[in-house]
Amino acid sequence: MSVRVQRFPSAPPSAALAARVVAIVLALLVAGIILAGTGASPLKLAGQVIKATFGSSFGLEDVGLLVTPLILTGLSVAVAQRIGAWNIGGEGQFYAGAFAATGVALFIPGPSIVMLPLMFVAGAIGGALWILIPTLARAYADVNELITTLLLNFVATLLVYWVATGPWLDPGGQALATTARLPHDIPEFWGIVHWGFPLAVVITILVAAVLAFTRWGYEVRIAGSNPQAAKYAGMPFRRHLILVMLLSGAIAGIAGMFEVAGTVHRLQGGISNNFGYLGIMVAVLARGSALGVLAGAALMGIILNSGIILQTQGLNVSTVLAITGLILFFTAIGDELAHYRIIRTEPAKA
């Protein structure tokens, strides 16, 4: 009897979880060795990170604020993946959603109970409109959405910088390079964590349920795995592609609305903090699963918060980014290795 290693299309959940845990442990060990080489105390730093993150409600609240946009930007990418598309423009759609929500808040009068839902809708529409051109280009001209969505990120970023420092600059002069404080805030439900956090979780669960238990979701999954088979079966691939891409952009736009109305309370350059790009990593960690985005976003939020804590302990930004990269790199390797299994084969009979 001989053995060979074979790759399978899917990995058992237990193997995927075990591979991810081992990968994170190995990444932390390597990071610890590197830190020890610089004269730092890895165990002391690890203890401070754990204590600051999980030892107080303030640390958990900070993680909650980071996780909220990561859930939605990760979900945005994961939804597009279901139909075989890559939405790399979550950053731009995030800015577009924040821009649209800010415009509604600043220039349309009304009570918060009315304006917050209106801002929510405006954020979703802003994100959907920002992905509309790449969507139509992919659907009708087969233009690669990787390039078009990516390039629009820069346009959205510069647009927000322009309005925040020009037409919408705070007229009271209380803040530089930002708009005035928005008159409507998303209420807090736990410490500094606003209601956008549970809403993001609910949106994720609803999207996962639609994709898993509806006919539309079934056709989307089929179209994503085999477009030709979907077309042969009479499924409207182009229509599904357009709807999925618009939904993806709308979700990223909602993330922008939550950030501007719940966390920052002003529109300003750099409001995204790269949440759109980090959402790609969240979706990869989630292995394309809508519900898996919740775990991926939690892991990414803890990593980001740990990086902030490490910076307060004297580590520079480059070191923190290197540690973050190591964790993600080892995790990606672990996810891939989980697909491989050792197969025992009988020797061929003469």
Q: What is the pLDDT of residue 233?
A: 84
Residue 112 is assigned to a structural domain of this protein: yes
Q: Give the model's confidence band at 350: pLDDT under 50 very low, under 70 low, under 90 confident, else very high.
A: low
Please tell me the distance from the alpha carbon of residue 264 to that of residue 262, in angstroms, as a whole number: 6
Reduced to 3 states, what is the DSSP secondary structure of residue 86? coil
* 34-71 residue pLDDT tens: 888 877 788 888 888 888 888 888 889 999 999 999 99
Residue 314 is assigned to a structural domain of this protein: no
Residue 21 is assigned to a structural domain of this protein: no
- Is residue 85 classed exposed, middle or buried when 0-12, 13-18 and 19+ CB atoms within 10 A define those classes? buried
Residue 265 is assigned to a structural domain of this protein: yes
Q: What is the pLDDT of residue 289?
A: 86
β strands within the chain, DSSP E: 2-7, 188-190, 193-194, 340-345
Residue 214 is assigned to a structural domain of this protein: yes
Q: Give the model's confidence band at 148: pLDDT under 50 very low, under 70 low, under 90 confident, else very high.
A: very high
Residue 290 is assigned to a structural domain of this protein: no
Crossing angle (nearest 10°) for helices 112-141 and 145-165: 140
Residue 100 · residue 177 · CB < 8 Å: no
How many domains does the structure of the chain reveal?
A: 1
Please tell me the distance from the alpha carbon of residue 112 to that of residue 60, in angstroms, as a whole number: 28
Residue type, 204: T
Domain that holds residue 223: 70-285
Residue type, 49: V
Residue 58 is assigned to a structural domain of this protein: no
- Asked whether the predicted pLDDT for residue 276 surpasses 80, the reply is yes
- Asked whether the predicted pLDDT for residue 123 surpasses 60, the reply is yes
